[in-house]
Amino acid sequence: MSAELAGLVLDLVAKAAPDAEAEVTVVRGELALTRFAGSAIHQNVAEDIGKVRLRLHTEGRTASSATTLTSLDALEALVERTIGAARLRPEDAGWGGLTPPSPLSGEGNYDPATAAADPGARAAVVRAFVDAAGGLETAGYCRTSETITVYANSAGQSVTARATAAITDGIARTCSSDGVARSAAVRLGDLDGAALGEHAAARARLAADPVPLAPGRYPVVLEASAVADLVGFSAWYGFNARAVAEGRSFVELGHEQFDPAITLHDDPLRPDALGVPVDAEGAPKRPLPLVLGGISTSLTHDRRTARQAGAESTGHAVPGGERFGALAGHLCLRPGPEGPDLLAGLDRGLLVSDLWYTRVLDPRTLVVTGLTRNGVWWVEDGRIVRPVRNLRFTQSYLDALAPGSVQAVGARAESIPGTYGEGRTSTPGVRLASWNFTGGAAD
């Protein structure tokens, strides 16, 4: 049905604007959420995903539009208003053209049981989380999704891909602290609600009755959830080819901008990768090394930036990317060798569980401000001494990961749900030489 819809829209464009270059993306599926608070489920919701997106280039101008309606009248209206919008737009000298026929590397990671998961299946994960918290108050959600994507264009590219995803994100709470645990997987059956609930509860108890700490620079161990923020911002603001072309990025290809312990890939073809293996322009997604042994290696391109740079699309186009560029959504920070726990090498410093409300102040140096949450602890001689109240920080992520700044990378990666869409980040924790805390969370 989705392939027929895409073909119908292309036929309608060909009749209305025979010289137009057109691409159609049809997305179908379901997103279902089981939410809990006060250690009890209070909401089950499900949303049918259905959207037809059209982008076309005609008379040197480009426009796009979308609809959730699939009747013939609705599709004719979609084509009519998109052509009309294009005629009102300025000339688009940077148009990158359409993706030529290109096969995908498989149809995507898909699990039928997750696609068919009902509220009872998600409730079982939630119950395991709540029971493992040992009486602490809990809150969070368990989410499952199925996505089927069909892409077709007037240059002959036509592909179908599908994917499933399951995410659990929850907290356990004492009267003075929270602990968090979150994970993402292709299969709902791979989410261990009991292990997540136990971890969140242990962290909450360990963080109870925190004390204030003076602002300053401290060595830190960042757990995986916090590290995901570092590598995500580094990729989106740094290794984005549009940001580089516009002078907004710190990246200098071929230079050792990171510590040699840092190797970062974007790998949408891993067996545990979430999302479909085709980008918004119909290009096959493929693995891309961004940092190898500390050296900045590659940029994410869509067809627009690839044409400008004399390169090829890397399969990282996203809807609306003509405004902000191509983005990596399957980041993988390579774990370090087996060895002692990251805390073992921390003489005096902080263990940070999570970062939130982070905002980029200067993309050229990747200075970010934000807050800690869900647990901060003072560490001496490799042992947690006491919990600390949440802190505000203002820190260059680039400096934090610069040569000589990364003291150790953890040996085990965790699967952290993506901030946007169905992506994920695979990352271990890291120990860093310095982190700039500028005040308390209320300052």
Q: How is 394-420 classified by DSSP, letter by letter?
A: EEEHHHHTSTTTEEEE-S--EEEEPSS
- Rounded to whole angstroms, the Cα distance separating 193 from 377 reads 25
Residues of the chain with pLDDT under 70: 1, 419-422, 442-443
Q: In the prediction, which pLDDT does 255 show? A: 98
- Rounded to whole angstroms, the Cα distance separating 276 from 271 reads 12
pTM across the whole model: 0.94
Q: Which two tokens stand for residue 422?
A: 């169905």
Q: Which two tokens stand for residue 421?
A: 């869409």
Cα dihedral sign, 130-272-323-68? negative
CA dist list (Å): 209 to 173, 174, 213, 307: 12, 9, 13, 56
- Rounded to whole angstroms, the Cα distance separating 261 from 126 reads 37
- Rounded to whole angstroms, the Cα distance separating 90 from 318 reads 22
Q: In the prediction, which pLDDT does 229 show? A: 96
Q: Which residue has the tokens 């148009």?
A: 95
CA dist list (Å): 152 to 27, 50, 55, 173, 393: 12, 16, 11, 48, 46
Q: In the prediction, which pLDDT does 321 show? A: 84
- Rounded to whole angstroms, the Cα distance separating 223 from 366 reads 20
Q: Which residue has the tokens 């990364």?
A: 406
- Rounded to whole angstroms, the Cα distance separating 38 from 249 reads 44
- Rounded to whole angstroms, the Cα distance separating 372 from 441 reads 8
List of residues 6+ apart from 71 with CB closer than 8 A: none
For domain 2-200, the CATH architecture is 2-Layer Sandwich (3.30)
Q: In the prediction, which pLDDT does 339 show? A: 80
| Burial degree of 281 (CB within 10 A; 0-12, 13-18, 19+) | buried
- CA 336 centroid distance within chain: 22
Residues of the chain with CATH 3.30.2290.10: 2-200
- Rounded to whole angstroms, the Cα distance separating 339 from 428 reads 13
Contacts from 100-103 at CB under 8 Å and sequence distance 24+?
100/155, 100/156, 100/157, 101/155, 101/156, 101/157, 101/158, 102/157, 102/159, 102/282, 102/283, 102/284, 103/159, 103/284
Cα dihedral sign, 293-231-354-220? positive
Q: In the prediction, which pLDDT does 440 show? A: 86
